Structures are given as C-alpha cells and as structure tokens.
Amino acid sequence: MRPRILVAAAAEAVADGDRLYQLDARQSHHLVRVLRLAAGAPLECFDGRGRRFDARIERADAKACTVRLLAPIDAATESPLSITLVQCISAAERMDWTVEKAVELGVHAIQPVVSARTQARLDAPRLQSRHEHWARIVEAACMQCGRDRLPALAPPLDFDRWLAAAGPSAGRTRIVLAPDGAARLAELRIDASRGVDLLVGPESGLSAAELERARTAGFRPVRIGPRVLRTETAGLAAIAALQALAGDF
C-alpha cells in the first residue's frame, strides 16, 4: 500500500489536469523524515471529502514538501449506514483508542460528551486541546485504513447541552448502551437509510437521570450481551455489530 496523505485544501483541485500542492510542516516531516521518501516517490492523496488521487512527491523538503496531484482514483470506502458515535469522554488513552478505531470501523461522525460520571474533568482550554488531538487521530486513522472522507468530529459538549442540541431524532435510530437494557442489539431491525445515533456512557456508566433523559429523547436502552464491557470496548463492539447488521461488513 502506498503512503497516503491528506490534502484537504485541494478539494476543488484536479479536474482534467494535475496540480502542485504544498504540505504543512507536520505532514512534510512525516513523509521525508519518518518514511524517508524522496522526490519522485509515489503517493496516494485524499481530500477528506471522499476523493483520492494518484500523486508523487515533487520536492522532498522536511518542512515544506510539495506533491503533484495526478489522476483521480475511483474508490468506495464509506459504509451505507450512517453511524454517529456519541461517546462520553474517557481517560486519555482510552478515548484516543475509541476515536481511532471508530474511524476504522466506518462511523460517519463522532460527538464527544461530558457526562456526570466522566472521570476526565477538563477545563475549556484543555478540552479544545484534546479536540485538536482527536482531529489528528481521525486524520491518521483515515490515512491508515484507506478512508477518503474524514468523519465529522464535533466539539465536546456537556451531556444536557448535547441532548438539547440534538433535538428530535429526525427519523434516525437512537440507541444507548445499557448492561440491563431490555433489548439485545441483535434483535433490532436496523434500516441503513435511517442512520443510527449510538450513545455510550463513561467508565462508570450514565447516571440514572441521564439515562432517563436519553430515553425521553428517543434513545432505546440496548445491551450487547451477557457481559459488561468497558467504555472503550462497548461502543466499538456495537459499531461492528451494527455494520454487520446493516452496514458494509
């Protein structure tokens, strides 16, 4: 597999010709210093909006690498099932893992949420820093797994603020994972045309009041199986199951 790199600003580039594109210092360092690629090396570039291109390195500069975008490449890597993962923020490494693997599993959007039992209590500047960090993880995961569309990563919100902003379901299937949920995930009828909002609690789970407010907003409590999964496992297991039921698995 050729190295892949994001060229987000080139969304309107490459119609019938080729185009030069200058990478930023972080991307340039990765190609030239980490991967040790030289001028002329072949690449695969994607624009984060669903398109990918043949490309090659035109100038190998560790601070300002230039690539030439060539012909568009046809590819289909997006799931027909639109899954939004609403993940209550967990400890640093666990949340990083969840974001990375959710992208690999094909979610369309990720909404980090601060709930009553969220253990990682961060002030506004640190939340902003974590959001930027997660955005880099989303990009790197797309580079690795072959996705050409960056999943939307929403800014972190307080649970109640998110629930109010989410509003009515707009026809989407709403699921909240709960170990004592009356329904099993395998029993659900998932319609890919409707999309799914998947709510996952933090390490200690959602509070009873939060779970009730989620139910009022249309989220159906669902259990995955007979075992209680950790927060970084539960959401990913549910995404994989949903993809098997109505997605692209």
Domain 83-246, CATH number (from 3.50.50.60, 3.40.30.10, 3.40.1280.10, 1.10.287.1120): 3.40.1280.10
H helices present in the chain, as ranges = 25-29, 92-105, 124-145, 159-166, 208-216, 231-246
Determine if the pTM surpasses 0.85.
yes
The maximal CA–CA distance of the chain, rounded, in angstroms, is 59
184-221 per-position pLDDT tens digit: 988 888 989 999 999 999 988 999 999 999 999 999 99
Domain ranges of the chain: 4-73, 83-246
Domain 4-73, CATH number (from 3.40.50.970, 2.40.170.20, 2.40.240.20, 1.10.3720.10): 2.40.240.20
Choose between 1 and 49: higher pLDDT. 49
First to last CA, the chain: 21
CA distance 102 to 109: 9
